[in-house]
Structures are given as C-alpha cells and as structure tokens.
Chain A
Amino acid sequence: QSVLTQPPSVSGAPGQRVTMSCTGNRSNIGAGYDVHWYQQLPGTAPKVLIYGNTNRPSGVPDRFSGAKSGTSGSLAITGLQTEDEADYYCQSYDSTLSRVVFGGGTKLTV
C-alpha cells in the first residue's frame, strides 16, 4: 500500500490529452511538500519528468506539465505520442514517516 495514491492505469489516443492524479494527505503533499514525477519507459530506469510541482528539466517537452492543489498533485500530457507509453510515478516527502514516499505508479497506454 503506497503512501501516495495513483490510478493504476490511464489511456488515450495519439494527439489527445490525459491527466493522472497523485493523492496524499496532510503529512506529505498537504503539508506543503513538493510533488515530483518520474517517467519509466519499458526496461529502463526512471527519469525525472517534473520536479517541484511544475518544473521541467531541460530536454523534457512542454507537452508535460505538473500541478499541485491541496493534498494532490497531477500530471498532464498533451499531444499524446506512442512513445509516451510508460509507467509514471509521483514522489513527495512525508513528515510523519520522515522519508521520501512514492506513489504506486500509473501505466499509460497510448
């Protein structure tokens, strides 16, 4: 049971927009800790996609965007491409557990 809750799967057609959620509580996201997102393509290591709720590292297309509100974060992908098919994980910090916490991951099917 992950501390952060993500939907197991989302899907969309090429060119469409999808969003995925990451729900925490008052000890993590709701306490003000940032939400970060990672993309894990099949058979590869995770890669940071969004950090600090809304920031994209250089090289990440602006089709990817992040947001945070209350006890939840969200990742939006516009102009879906087949190469976006991957697992997406959110991550934050939990003050009660005093450790980094991950969501269980969302599998995106395009």
Chain B
Amino acid sequence: EVQLLESGGALVQPGGSLRVSCAASGFTFGSYAMSWVRQAPGKGLEWVSTISGGGGSTHFADSVKGRFTISRDSSKNTVYLQMNSLRAEDTALYYCARRNSAMMGFFFDYWGQGTLVTVSS
C-alpha cells in the first residue's frame, strides 16, 4: 500500500526557515518523481515543486523560486522541502504527492495527509 507521511509543519515568523519532510513507503521510491502541492486556508490547490526520481531535476513555481529547495534521500525514501525567507502568503497545508505520467502530461496519484505551515509573527 502506497503511503506518504508528511511532517515538520510549524508556526514560523516571517523571514524564517523551515524544512518539511515526506516519508514514502509501499512503492519503488526512485521510480517516481515527487511533488509538493499546497493549499492556503479556504483556497484551492497550488503546485509548488517537483523533483525527478533520481533527484537530478527540480522545478519550482514562480512564487517560491529562489526561496524553496527540494531534495530527496533514497536511503530513507524521503523527500524534503526546505523553505527559506518565508512570507505570510506561504501559510498553507503542504501536501506531498507522487507524480505519475499520463499519455500527455502528469498527474498526482497518491497524496499525503498534509503538514501545516503557518507564517506569522
């Protein structure tokens, strides 16, 4: 059974940093790209970042580019999102999701339960 378990969410002051993690199990971790998708309170879904299965390719939304980094540790089957220079508008529930390929494009076939990041003074 595929499982994604996020952790590390917290209350952080504006300008601060935080690292959230996603522990994966139930599938061959290195065979899949992994993504972070966030949802601000009462709002819709926003793709944040994706890392390739091997970790050599990363992509970021414009809203976080230069502030967030994504990485993965194949020995721990874990993907990380390092968030720096946090802003109030980064407040959201951060979901880890497994990316799968469609005939044309990508979709997210498994999601974690989310970890809450609150940026406030």
Q: Which residues of A contact B (CB under 8 A)?
A: 2, 32-34, 36, 38, 44-48, 51-52, 57, 89, 91-93, 98-105
Contact = CB atoms under 8 A, between A and B. Distances in A.
Contact of B106 (A44, A45, A46, A100): A100
A1 to B, nearest CB: 11
Q: Looking at B45, B47, B50, which has the most chain A CB atoms within 10 Å of its CB?
A: B45
B45 A105 contact: yes
A45 B112 contact: yes
B44 A105 contact: yes
A48 B44 contact: no
B112 A101 contact: no
Contact of B95 (A45, A57, A101, A105): A45
B45 A57 contact: no
Which 5 A-B pairs have CB atoms at the shortest separation, nearest pair first?
A: A93-B105, A36-B107, A33-B105, A34-B102, A52-B102
Contact of B44 (A45, A100, A104): A104
B67 interface: no
Given A100-B47, A102-B46, A105-B45, A34 B59 contact: no
A101 B47 contact: yes
Contacts of A104: 44
B32 interface: no
Nearest to A57: B109
B95 A102 contact: no
A89 B109 contact: no
A34 B105 contact: yes
Contacts of A93: 104-106
A35 to B, nearest CB: 9
Interface in B26-62: 35, 37, 44-47, 50, 59, 61
